[in-house]
Every structure is written in structure tokens, then in C-alpha cells.
Amino acid sequence: MIGLFGGTFNPVHVGHVRAAIDVRDQLALSEVRMMPANITPHRTQPRVSSRQRAAMLKLAINDIAGLKYEGLELQRKQASYTYDTLMLLRERIDQPIVLLMGADAFSFLPSWYRWKSILKLANIAVLRRPGSRLSLAAFPEDWVQSRLVQQLDSKQGKIIKVPISRTEVSSTDVRARLQAGKSIRYLVPEAVESYIAKHGLYIEN
């Protein structure tokens, strides 16, 4: 069973990496594929290019066992919808897929394209940091509870909550610090910090 962890990664930070490691270990996944989005349907398009975000992600996980880069969505010219991505991956991968989602993103799952069909293609791991809130208000009654399990034992259709390490860092905070001329040391992997400095990223002109 492999994990799929998508996002803008703008930029990738230590919280992303730590979360991937936590889920890899707790669910005994063979690997976690980290996949930067190209054109995002739910967010404003990042100013930093998809090529640069991909380069930073590769640097961040280069020497970490079980974490792999997945460039599928960067090969597509249209918006990256999770359902479409999973359909393509299922043609290439002969293992069950676990879609990694933060609790905040999962709370808005019913607004996603063909959201109910996502569970026909994969399981979902909801990442829960200490103190994070998970809202089920947007879901049909009992829809989540009827699919919630303590252990994944099927190829698709199930939801599992996975506690992850608390990290007080976000991409928004990293960008704000850079724009203010502040240090981002220990908020992003060292190689990512060097890449950002070398290319002058996230600094307002």
C-alpha cells in the first residue's frame, strides 16, 4: 500500500516532511509519493513556478527512505482534480493507494470534483495534529462514520485518522518571513533554504 500526499508545497517545509514520515510509519506504507500540484482548482495559483516547487520538494526528500517524488500532475496542462489523478495512478500502480489529507482539507472534501468517487479509487488518511479541528458539517449524516476504521484492511473505500507530530509551521508563515527579511532556518529543510536563497524566491520586488 502506498501513500499519495499532494499539495502546492509553496514551499515544502518540515511539517510536510514530518507528516509524510509519520503516516509512512504508522500505516506501514511501502512508500509515500509527494506530488506537487500544477494548476490548483481550490487555491490561487502560486507565483513560484511549478518547476521550482518540484525542485524544492525533490531536495527536501532526496535522502529519506520511503518518500518519493511524484510528478504526474505537473505533466498535465489542466487543473489538477484528485479524482482524475487517482484514475491515472491506478493504471500505473498495482498497489492500493492511501490519499493523505490534512484535517482542514478533509473538512471541505464535499466541495471537490467527484468527491464520493474518490473513495472508489483509494482509502483516505486524515492527518490530525494535536489541537487540530475536524468538521464534518459539510458531509451527509453518518457518511464519514460509516467508513471510518481503526486499521486499513481494504483496497479502497475506508477512512482512517492518523495522529501526526505537532509542527508550528506553514507555507504561508515561511513566505511571510522571507518577505519580511526574517530567517526560515529549521522551518524548511536546509537544502530548500539554500535553494530559496540562491534563486531569490518569495521576496517582493
pLDDT in tens, 109-118: 999 999 999 9
- Domain assignment present for residue 183? The answer is no
Is the pLDDT at 205 greater than 60? The verdict is: no
Q: Residue 78: what pLDDT?
A: 76
7: left (phi over 0), alpha (psi -120 to 50) or beta: left
Question: Of 166, 161, 105, which is closest to residue 130 (Cα–Cα)?
Answer: 166
Is the pLDDT at 105 greater than 70? The verdict is: yes
- Domain assignment present for residue 184? The answer is no
- Domain assignment present for residue 189? The answer is no
Q: Please state which of the ranges 43-47, 64-68, 188-192 shows the lowest mean pLDDT.
A: 43-47
- Domain assignment present for residue 174? The answer is no
Q: Residue 53: what pLDDT?
A: 96
Q: How confident is residue 47, by pLDDT bands cut at 50, 70 and 90?
A: confident
How many folded domains does the chain comprise? 1
Q: Cβ contacts of residue 37 below 8 Å, gap of 6+?
A: 6, 7, 8, 50, 73, 80
- Domain assignment present for residue 182? The answer is no
pLDDT in tens, 117-135: 999 999 999 999 887 778 9
